[in-house]
Amino acid sequence: MSRTVCLFLSGILALCQGHDALAQIEPSGFPVLQLEPSARSAAMAGSTVALSDGNSGILFSNPALISPRIDGRLEFSYLNHVSDINAGWISYGKDMDSLGTFALGLRYLSFGQFDERNERGEKTGTFGASDIALTLGASRPWRSSVRYGASIEIMRSSLASEAASAIGIEAGAVFSDSTRRQSFGISVHHLGVVLSSIGNRSDRLPSDLRIGFTKGLAHLPLLLSVTAYRLHKLDGGPDGSGGLSKILYHLRLAGEFQFSESFQVRFGYDHRRHDALKVKSRLDMAGLSMGIGIVVSRIGFDYAFNSWSSLGGLHRFTIVSNL
């Protein structure tokens, strides 16, 4: 593989991974796995491990969240990333009574087309780069308030004529207390093996251990959510970070105003992303996210905006429909 292609690969991976790359965290392969799976999840800064209400993106948030509520549900999400990078997700759920509830999802990430040049700078052609991941998940209830689930995922990354592949698993459990409007979830993501890498790189999967908690307030239509992530690798942020900053580096905070089943307003904050993308010493919006959810004639529309400070922001859209 040419040196030019390798340089392009490093650049587009940095653009896709965004806060991880800028924060000088060890990069991993298959960046499509690190993108938020739905507009709702993105609006809530990824704090979705314990959202047991059966809303969108649950297959990729925590397989234990797969429930009979998604029976016959078809979801489609689209992300307009920076530059020419685009991503899409599609999933479908099916409840099979005593066997459990199953969900099938496909994630796709395209980096666009690039010019390939030789060492003299002469154009020799064009090449593309993309990621694709197929996920099959299932969950079952245990007693009345606990669900557990697992999924298997097959990934492939391509760059020009090179390709990488991997296979992994995810697993999780969620405990829900409907009387107190609260839930607790735990999940492990992207454990597996890389079958092949691109060029001389040694790819790895972006493994993650997460714990989350949600609580609906008694006298306000607000659901609060907090998720601790990257618990398998407590890096605590850059050198010199204070105690609070080290804790916030592993937390995602979010809320959702549930005005009705047809209208929600969401917000979230990711301190790790904020610290990596901020350019101002004060009042920098990096790491903040917001969005809305609307249901019209049994079709749900979700939108999310994630601030990337002076770089602009990311826009995600999700459409949900029951077939």
Residue 51 phi, psi (nearest 5)? -80, 90
Of 28 and 21, the structure prediction assigns the larger pLDDT to 28
Instruction: Tell me the two tokens of residue 274.
Output: 């904020």
What's the alpha-carbon Rg for the chain, to the nearest Å? 20
pLDDT surpasses 50 at 236: yes
CA–CA separation, 169 vs 100, rounded Å? Answer: 18
Number of residues written out for the chain: 323
- What's the pLDDT at 2? 42
Model confidence over 199-222: pLDDT tens digits?
Answer: 777 778 999 999 999 999 988 999
Model confidence over 271-311: pLDDT tens digits?
Answer: 888 877 777 666 778 889 999 999 998 899 999 999 877 77
Cα–Cα distances in angstroms (integers) from residue 170 to residues 183, 186, 310, in the given order: 20, 11, 35
Cα–Cα distances in angstroms (integers) from residue 136 to residues 47, 120, 160, 195, 299, in the given order: 22, 46, 28, 19, 24
Confidence (pTM): 0.84
Model confidence over 34-82: pLDDT tens digits?
Answer: 888 899 999 999 999 999 887 778 999 999 999 999 999 999 999 987 6
Closest listed residue to residue 46, CA positions, set 216, 227, 169, 176:
227
